[in-house]
Structure 1
Amino acid sequence: MRANGSAGGITSDSFTGVQYGTGGKETGGIIWNGTEGTVYGNVTLQEDLEIGEGESLTLDGGASLDAGNHNVIVDGGTLDENLANSLGDSVKYAPTITTASLPDGTVGTLYTAKLKADGTAPITWSVSAGSLPDGLNLNKDTGEISGTPSAEVTSTFIVTANSTYGSDSRELTLKN
């Protein structure tokens, strides 16, 4: 999503330089230049603002951004550290799965592995394509894969981490 000065709100898929609110660099607003936005002056959000993949939002010296009752959702993009600190709990992060691989299991032996993701809780988990080996289950609330594998197989599947603020998927392989 991008700020849109002419509409006074936020619109999606805007690829030109636009500004949230009125004014300019000298008088304040969020100025977008392609996928990069900068806060100038004192700005209050009128809606949630999403910083998508490849996008960034920074805070110019002396500027401030007040989220009001809204959120700044970081979904693959980057938010200036000073800005993130100043907004505190108004900054929400979409899940990013950090589990790169799973340990092998052994047929007939208890298996446990926990999927991990960064992001604002709560995060729920699912197998969105493929399937776990027979005998194993995924706990949707904890991300733990557990059970006793019943056959020697190699399973490739896609896990998805979901939250109110977005989702992330990753292909994993588990060998028993």
Structure 2
Amino acid sequence: MKSSRSILLAIATLCIALFATALYLQAARDMPPCPLCIVQRYLLAALALTCGGFACLDPRLHKAGAAAGLCLAIGGIGIAARHLWQQNRLDTFCDVDPLGKWLNAMPSAHLLPLLFKADEGLCAMPSALLGMSLPQWSMLGFIVIALGLLRYLARQEPLVPWLA
């Protein structure tokens, strides 16, 4: 049975890998991020910080970190679902999204524009990798993370493992 620390660190690493893939596609394939992509990046960053941060704390707090991470992953699934739904609607094709203006006004967009500055339109994205669009990969990543955290939270283990 894997330790809770290694599970949380694996999830944090997966979040960083997904974030890095989005940055690669933005830079190398000239795919500017839309506002919903940026929201998903914020959620991936929050998930990586939450799971990685709680992995460094007392093992008694690991389940709390996993529960917080699960909430973020469920939010990511919802945002990715909204993104896919909005891309498949013909009436919102390339619409200007007010969310983009709000996100670009945030301090993180000014401090780290490569990471968090949104293109203010929402256009249909081409296939990014292996025939799937970036929102589809994002949805898959958030589902895998949520299932991993659910499996960890469902495990029966003592509250203080070294006293068992």
Please confirm whether the aligned pair reaches a TM-score higher than 0.5, indicating the same fold. no
Q: Report TM bin, short chain.
A: under 0.3
Higher relative contact order (CA 8 A, sep 6+): 2
Which structure has the larger Rg over C-alpha atoms?
Answer: 1
| Richer in helix (by share) | 2
TM-score of the superposition, structure 1-length normalised? 0.21
What TM-score, normalized to structure 2? Answer: 0.22
Of Structure 1 and Structure 2, the greater strand share is in: 1
